[in-house]
Copies of this chain bind each other. A is one copy, B any other.
Amino acid sequence: MDKIKVGVLGATGMVGQRFVQLLQGHPWFELTEVAASERSFGKRYAEAVGGRWKLSADIPEAARAMVVKECAPNLDCRLVFSALDADVAGPIEQAFAAAGYAVSSNSRNHRMEPDVPLLIPEVNADHLALVPLQKKNRGWKGFIVTNPNCSTIHLVLALKPLQRLGLSEVMVVTMQALSGAGYPGVASLDILDNVVPYIGGEEEKVERETLKLLGALGESSVRNASVKVSAQCNRVNVNDGHTEAVSVRLDAKPGLEDVKQAFRAFNPLRGLGLPSAPSQPIIVREEPDRPQPKMDRMLERGMASVVGRVRPCPVLDYKFVVLGHNTIRGAAGAAMLNAELMKQQGYLD
């Protein structure tokens, strides 16, 4: 099979770098284009990224010499991954979709639009069915599919198996990593020996996106799930990996083992052969002090959500900790898996 040509928009930023890294050796996709802001036009990718490459492995050889293009819909590829900043992503992604490209976006701009799938393949693969509607509504030859915010995705992966146990209320307090703020992002003087109990816009995103992700597909949009969600978001001095303390009300009043079993048994993509899918999307740890970002964020190559400390909650029903990598499963890896699902379901033919 010929590989599908793909481009990366916003290729020089933190999430863009992850896209470039994850595409290295990808069995289905071939990176043919990198695009970024005006400052980088015409430079070699390695030169354009320069000292801003922040991943521990070096820039993939194949990408180093690629010439950085403008983020305009004349790229030689079928699919683009968008790691664009929210202040520019809106019209650019629309232009690509209008011109016939498939857009797998990590940006927040179109997530909440009724005819745009906000997608986690294990959670709501059926929402992809919004794509034909979106193309019709907008007269586009291409389309946009989005993935959720980096905190939301790990929360919702953990919540999905609880939905059939009567999930009705969710309290979550996040302790989020620095890489979630991009680069340069958080100033070192602000976070050394400190916690910042605020991340602009984050709580709203977690509370809102969760409802759409857990919602049911209707004819022309998604009906939000009937779940109450309350989020408190904090920044902590960790490179990668968001840790989230969660409490849930489960109206079916399951036993503790039922809850753990629901996590462990959850694997809706098994057998589909998506290259980036983790063999186990939710890993349940039994040690009293896990998951921890430093130890667990790279499980399943950063594509798993790791759950631990499942125990009764004196106010709601159960509480637990969920942790996951925020720039892999929480961003670039999420958009990659979405694109793989599109391909597997025929949306890239």
Q: Which residues of A contact B (CB under 8 A)?
A: 51, 54, 56-58, 169-171, 173, 175, 178-179, 183-198, 200, 207, 228-230, 232, 234, 236-239, 243, 245, 247, 287-295, 298-299, 308-309, 313-316, 319, 321, 323
In the complex, the count of this chain's copies comes to 4
**A311: shortest Cβ distance to chain B, in Å?**
9
CB <8 Å contact, B230 and A316: yes
Contact A170 B293 (CB under 8 A): no
Min CB–CB distance A259 → chain B (angstroms): 16
Find A230's partner among B194, B232, B319 (CB 8 Å cutoff): B319
- CB distance A230 to B314 under 8 Å? yes
Instruction: Tell me which residues across on chain B come within 8 A of A183, comparing CB atoms.
Output: 187, 189
Contact among B188, B245, B323 with A185 in the assembled complex (CB-CB below 8 Å): B188
Smallest CB separation, A52 vs chain B (Å) = 10
Residues of B within 8 A of A239 (CB): 189, 192-193
| Cβ–Cβ < 8 Å partners of A54 in chain B | 189
> Do residues B230 and A198 form an inter-chain contact, with CB atoms below 8 A?
no
Q: Write out the residue numbers on chain B whose beta carbons fall within 8 Å of the beta carbon of A196.
A: 289, 292
Report yes or no: B175 in contact with A236, Cβ–Cβ below 8 A.
Answer: yes
Closest 5 CB pairs of A and B: A184-B187, A173-B173, A198-B289, A194-B294, A230-B315
